[in-house]
Structure formats: structure tokens, C-alpha cells
Structure 1
Amino acid sequence: METKKTAVYIDGYNLYYGRLRGTAYKWLDLVRLFEDLLRIQDGVPPVQMVKFFSAHALARFASHGEASITAQQSYHRALETLYPDRFAITLGTHSMDRTGALLPAVRPGVPYNRNDRVRVWKIEEKQTDVNLAMAMYRDAAKGLYDHVVLCSNDSDAEPVLKALREDFPDLLIGVVTPVPPPDPAKGAPRGVSASLSKHAHWTRRYLLDGELEAAQLPPRVPTKKKPIRKPEHW
């Protein structure tokens, strides 16, 4: 009897800004994290592949400049080194609108004034949504996996989940929402995208700090040449 298989598709931008930004958990072992999460999910086959979709960092807009580029590359290489047959990265691009948009200014100690506006450049990650959706659908069409998991809270992924449910009724679909758990002290948390969860067979609504902490990469990842070290600011 053929072993059933799971593939995980991660929107890297959504994971970073929804859950990892500002935390100490960015050096995250994505394969281990989802192995741990799905091991306790009833009826879910083992994780065979994790596919990560993002874009290159832009040095001129990053907090650490060129060091941010190096850090991102080190992170990607660490995962590819540890999981050469189980982890794949697809990188899109960025577009920048230098004409920008006029948005209300935030000035400390000054009441909000919608007429006080400043021009802000608009930077957008391009191709990630399409790359992720295409990968999910093509893998399903090839019959590669019995169960697919989307890690995102972006409603732009709704069309591919809807298509998968309609075109491949035997395919099991899960959604992991990359947001922190509710914290009454911080007010209402960001909600789970209902447009995604309605097409899923199951939904994981948050990621705990303890789960992220337990799935960190080692500070030093050996390679055949120079080891990959966790960046100081990562």
C-alpha cells in the first residue's frame, strides 16, 4: 500500500509579517515546525515536502542594508543544506512605485489629521501569490500528494483553495494561520481569513511561541565548506 504524503506551501511574506517580525524566532526550521504541528493533527500523512515562496530582500530598504541580504541568503542556504530533498524555495521579485501614495502622517503628540498627508513610496512583492497557487495546483494535478497545507492568512489564496476543492475532491486541505494566539492584554488579534478556512478541511488558527522556539535551526549549520552561522541580527 502506497504511503500517503503531505506537502506544505508557505507564503514567506505573510509568515514573516504575520508572526515572526519583531520576535526571536526568525531562524526558524520550517520543516521541523510543520512536522511537529502536523504530527498531532488527526489523520494527516507525514510531511514529505515544504515549499517556501518569497522574494529577495532589498538592501536599500532593509534595516541592516547589505547585511540583510546576506542574512536572508544564509537562512535559505541553511534550510536547503539540512533538507536537500524536502525543502524548496521559489523567489519572486519586487516592484516599486516611486510616485507613491499620499497617506495621513503620524506625528507624535499631534492629533490625527486626515488632511495632513505625506507621500510614501509603494513597494510590493510580486509573483509570490501566483507562484504559490501554481505550485499547489500543478502538484495536485500530478497527484503528488494526498494532503496539502497552506501557511498564509492572505485571502488572495482563496481561488486556488476553491479550485482544489472542486477539481480534486479526494485531496485533503489544511490551513495554518501565521498569527500569534489571542492576548486579551493587547486587544483583539488579527482575525483568521474566513475565505481560506471555508475551503479547508481543517484550520490551525495561530502559532504559539513555544512551537516556534522548539523549531529553531542550530546556530551553526555544517556544510562541505564553510559552515552557515546564524546572523547576529536575525
Structure 2
Amino acid sequence: MKKPANAPVSSFLRISFVQTAFFVDGYNVFYGLLAGTPYKWLDLSSLLEAIAHENDPRSQVAEIHYFTSPVQPTLATRKQQSKQAQDTYIRALKTRGIEVHWGRHRLDHRKAPRFISRDIPASRQDQVDIWNLEEKETDVRLGITMYRLAAKQSWGEAPENRIQQIVLVSGDTDMTPALEAIRADFPHLRIGIILPHRKGVDRTPPGSLRKYADWMRRHITTDELEAYQFPNRVHTRKKPADKPEYW
């Protein structure tokens, strides 16, 4: 951006942009914010842009990274329909320039203490066989991608193209070590956190994440979820992405 010849320096600094990169834990967003609501067809890019702008009007979305794992149809409530819904939503997200990173699920046979009631403690002497479904690689991939971007800004990008702010969209405290490392190694970077929690749902903000953040948005309102929805049909380069009927 070229400064107008007659503009005072302080005025120009006020309108300079803060280039912002978002890192979204898709699993955390779905189960912490969207599951059980009619707002799953969320226009994530528009919502994040609005929240960042509310925090700092100079914020400008530079890139959004979305981390998730493919739905396992055999274990999903709606089987293949659930997988198709996820695929459709991913295609809609990509029309907004969002970069999608895939992890995986692992299903293992394990033993776990039998649940009787909350008043009776778990016992290793009373265990049952279970199937344990675990999301793998997503957290690690998110943390590494976030750190690598921070490093690239410091060592590889021209000053005018550098990211000045990283925003984590997650309430998962497994992200704390990555934020701690970024804060220590790249102290010039501004760090924001958006917790994917619906307003009205009582949850304690994770203190370990807050420790390394310059700012934190603690919840997202129902009005915001309703306002930032994709149209029922999102046009893509190929087949349109239509909102799943049961969403």
C-alpha cells in the first residue's frame, strides 16, 4: 500500500493491514460448536474474518488452514451419508480459498473400566472390551504447519508479504507446546485464539492456551452462526456443493 503524499505518518500506520493466518481444528469446531445445531453449513471464512476484524479492524485474512480427518462411514451415525456430507462441506470450504489438511482415524481394540454410575469409581479389576476410535496426526500436523509458517515469515518472506498474526481456532490444550514455541522463537508475531464454544454453554477457558495469546475470543454466538452460513448451493469449478438435506 502506497502512503498518500499528504497523509501524516500516524494516519497511515492506523490503516496498515495486519496480515492474518488462521489454523482451524475441524474436529474441535464440529463437536465444540456445531454438533446438534442447524448451523453445520458454516461459512467459516466469513465468520473468522468478522471476528478478527472485530478484535482489530486492521486484520486482513491472508490464509486459512483447516485440519480434519475423513469420516469413517461404518462408524458414522448416517453411514455413507455422513461421509458424503463431509466431502460436500470440504468442497464448499475450498471455494473460499481454504487449504484443507487431512489426518486419519485409527480404530483399535482396547479394554476400559466398566461404567456403572458417576458415584462408583472406575476399577481396573472390572474392564470390558471396547472399540477405541482415535483421530491421528491432526494435532501434530496443525502444530507443525503453524510453526513452519511462523519460521517462514522470519527467514524467507519479503517484509511486505509477511504474516503479522496467527490465530488458532481450537480449545485443545494439546496445542499449548506449539504456541509456547512460537511465542519464544518469534515474539514479534501476534497470537490470537478463537475458542469454538457456543455462548451459553458453560466451559472454562483453557488457561494454558490463554497464557501464550495476545487475545482470546471465548465464545461464538448463535446469531453469528446463523449470520455466517453458506447459501444452500455453493458453485464450484465442477459439481455444485449443495447443503446436505439433514443439515
Asked whether the equivalents of residues 113 and 122 of structure 2 are also in contact (C-alpha less than 8 Å), the reply is no
Residue identity matched to 1:180: R
Tell me which residue corresponds to 1:203: 216
Residue correspondence of structure 1 range 87-166 to structure 2 within 5 A: 87-105=98-116, 118-143=128-153, 144-166=162-184
> How far apart are the structure 1 equivalents of 2:50 and 2:87?
25
Moved over 3 A (4+): 1-4, 111-119
Shift in Å at residue 136 of structure 1?
A: 0.6
Tell me which residue corresponds to 1:220: 233
Secondary structure, counterpart of 2:18 in structure 1 = coil
Tell me which residue corresponds to 1:186: none
> How far apart are the structure 1 equivalents of 2:116 and 2:169?
33
Cα distance 1:232–1:140, how it changes in 2: closer, same or farther (>3 A)?
same
Shift in Å at residue 190 of structure 1?
A: 1.7
TM (norm. structure 2) is: 0.84
> How far apart are the structure 2 equivalents of 1:27 and 1:198?
32
Shift in Å at residue 27 of structure 1?
A: 0.7
Asked whether the equivalents of residues 44 and 147 of structure 1 are also in contact (C-alpha less than 8 Å), the reply is no
> How far apart are the structure 1 equivalents of 2:140 and 2:194?
19
> How far apart are the structure 2 equivalents of 1:59 and 1:154?
25
Tell me which residue corresponds to 1:233: 246
Secondary structure, counterpart of 2:55 in structure 1 = coil
Residue identity matched to 2:54: I
Shift in Å at residue 118 of structure 1?
A: 4.3
- The reply to whether residue 5 of structure 1 matches residue 15 of structure 2 is no
Tell me which residue corresponds to 1:78: 92
Secondary structure, counterpart of 1:137 in structure 2 = helix
Deviations 1:148-176 (A, max 9, x none): 10011111000011111111111000000
Asked whether the equivalents of residues 30 and 50 of structure 1 are also in contact (C-alpha less than 8 Å), the reply is no
> How far apart are the structure 1 equivalents of 2:25 and 2:122?
33
Secondary structure, counterpart of 1:181 in structure 2 = coil
Cα distance 1:141–1:70, how it changes in 2: closer, same or farther (>3 A)?
same
Cα distance 1:65–1:76, how it changes in 2: closer, same or farther (>3 A)?
same
TM (norm. structure 1) is: 0.88
Secondary structure, counterpart of 2:46 in structure 1 = helix
Q: Which runs of 5+ in 2 are unaligned?
A: 2-15, 154-161
> How far apart are the structure 2 equivalents of 1:158 and 1:114?
29
Residue identity matched to 1:92: G
Q: Which segment drifts farther, 190-199 or 174-183?
A: 174-183
Q: Which segment drifts farther, 93-102 or 55-64?
A: 93-102
Q: Which segment drifts farther, 171-180 or 3-12?
A: 3-12
Secondary structure, counterpart of 1:46 in structure 2 = strand
Tell me which residue corresponds to 2:48: 34
Residue identity matched to 1:173: I
> How far apart are the structure 1 equivalents of 2:114 and 2:147?
37
Give the RMSD, CA atoms, in angstroms.
2.0
Determine which structure has more spread, i.e. the larger CA radius of gyration. Answer: 2
Asked whether the equivalents of residues 5 and 147 of structure 1 are also in contact (C-alpha less than 8 Å), the reply is yes
> How far apart are the structure 2 equivalents of 1:178 and 1:48?
21
Residue identity matched to 2:107: M
- The reply to whether residue 67 of structure 1 matches residue 81 of structure 2 is yes
Tell me which residue corresponds to 1:19: 33
Shift in Å at residue 181 of structure 1?
A: 1.9
> How far apart are the structure 2 equivalents of 1:224 and 1:154?
34
> How far apart are the structure 2 equivalents of 1:100 and 1:114?
12
Cα distance 1:151–1:112, how it changes in 2: closer, same or farther (>3 A)?
same
Tell me which residue corresponds to 2:13: none
